[in-house]
Amino acid sequence: MTVAERPVLRLKPKTDSRAIRHGAPWVFADEVVLDRRTRALPAGTIVTLEDAERRALGVVAINTGSKIVARMLDRDPDAEIGRDWIAVRLGAALALREALYDAPFYRLVHAEGDGLPGLVIDRFGAAAVIQPNAAWAELLLDDIVAVLSDLTGVSCVVKNAAGRARGLEGLDDVSSVLTGEVSAPVPVPMNGATYMADLTGGQKTGLFYDQRPNQAFAARLARGGRMLDVFSHVGGFALAALAGGAESALAVDSSAPALALARKGAEAGGVGARFETRQEDAFAALEAMGRDGERFDLVVCDPPAFAPSKQALDAGLRAYERVARLAAPLVAPGGFLMLCSCSHAADLGRFRTASVRGIGRAGRRGQLIRTGFAGPDHPQHPQLAETGYLKALAFRLMP
């Protein structure tokens, strides 16, 4: 389809186009004219977005079955969205990561943050895991994979179709290996530790790269002491702490497969003798250790998103407060507590308030010594708060 033949999506007369002109990447269903012809367009169709006066605002991908009815692909209304366009965007994303990291283990594409809305790609050396969480990316998946392979030389590409985002787009949840083979967990070097990433059966893409700088900071706090990593997954904070000189680390998670990968990572990194795991519900474990009088020099809690949407915000904030209340008593006098949230609906201010309230309810008093975010391979879109979802608060709890 040529640029001239493209369908048009038009804003309603009373819709203010200034936010879109200034860079907002999403257009919502109540902002546009959705007539019968527009509603008939297949999800992922590339269209020209116009304001009510028929002035072109850019090229968008449409999905009338989603609350986000259009995602901005290019501000240039004459841009042709195809393999060449994908190569430019992916090339720019790759150049940033190669400037940041010496080894090819990172988030290569962070959706809107890299100008590829709804598309996530994590790289694991010669393998990559791709999450096409928007309909346009699903339609152009073959082109994306071809460009990815050409630019990076990866020999294996896995499609991960799990997650809430694809469901909201009306997409299926069928994951598959698109190219090459993957038969075992992939060892990933990060912060001096070795992690084992399950690219086909693990959570999300197999490993969370976003916590890299926060794990490095936690490793400094844990040097020479005992640390506790709650909601540990594959040992994210615990293995970094051990690599940084912690005396010992205990990883708590409800997932046996995740803890098995954590143990393999500890053994691969030569720190297995100082590493222990505990398979249990995190809240139950925190309560039990509190009753037993356990104390650690560093406690880290990195739970799943308790507030994945605005509707879940109040319950999520109560859960974050509860985590802080149960974790604070486990910190030795003068020790450290790091609390994390990956809920974009709970902004930094609300999360900090919930955390401080929980620490206070536990009868502890803390100094906030660092506020951390995702690493630079997770660039934020300045006008999309969702891309800055991760928060990590480090407290020193007073003696």
The CATH number covering residue 65 comes to: 2.30.130.10
Q: Which residues of the chain have pLDDT under 50?
A: none
* 67/212 same-domain check: no
In a domain, 1, yes or no: no
Looking at 132, 163, 179, the residue that finishes a domain is: 179
Please give the tally of structural domains in the chain: 3
In a domain, 300, yes or no: yes
| Domain presence at residue 16 | yes
Give domain status of residue 3, yes or no: no
Q: Give the torsion through C-alpha atoms of 227, 230, 235, 238, to 10 deg.
A: -10
158 within some domain: yes
Q: Clarify whether residues 158 and 197 are in a common domain.
A: no
Q: Give the model's pLDDT for residue 183.
A: 82
Residue 390 is assigned to a structural domain of this protein: yes
Last residue of a domain, one of 74, 108, 128: 74
User: What does the pLDDT look like over 154-211, one tens digit per residue?
Assistant: 999 999 998 888 998 999 999 999 999 988 899 999 999 999 999 998 777 789 999 9
Closest CA to 68 of 80, 56, 60: 60
The predicted-structure confidence for 228-263, as pLDDT tens digits, reads as follows 999 999 999 999 999 999 999 999 999 999 999 999
Query: Do 166 and 207 belong together in one domain?
Result: no
Asked if residue 2 is part of any domain, the answer here is no
**What pLDDT does residue 1 have?**
65
Q: Are residues 223 and 104 in the same domain?
A: no
Owning domain of residue 13:
8-74
Does 97 share its domain with 146? yes
Both 140 and 192 in one domain: the answer is no
**Catalytic positions, written as ranges:** 342
Q: Residue 310 is part of a domain; what is its CATH number?
A: 3.40.50.150
Q: Which of 74, 93, 127 is the last residue in one of the domains?
A: 74
pLDDT of residue 201: 81
Residues 279 and 157 in one domain: no
- What span, in angstroms and rounded, lies between the C-alpha atoms of 187 and 196? 5
Domain CATH number, residue 154: 3.30.750.80
> 164 and 247 share a domain?
no
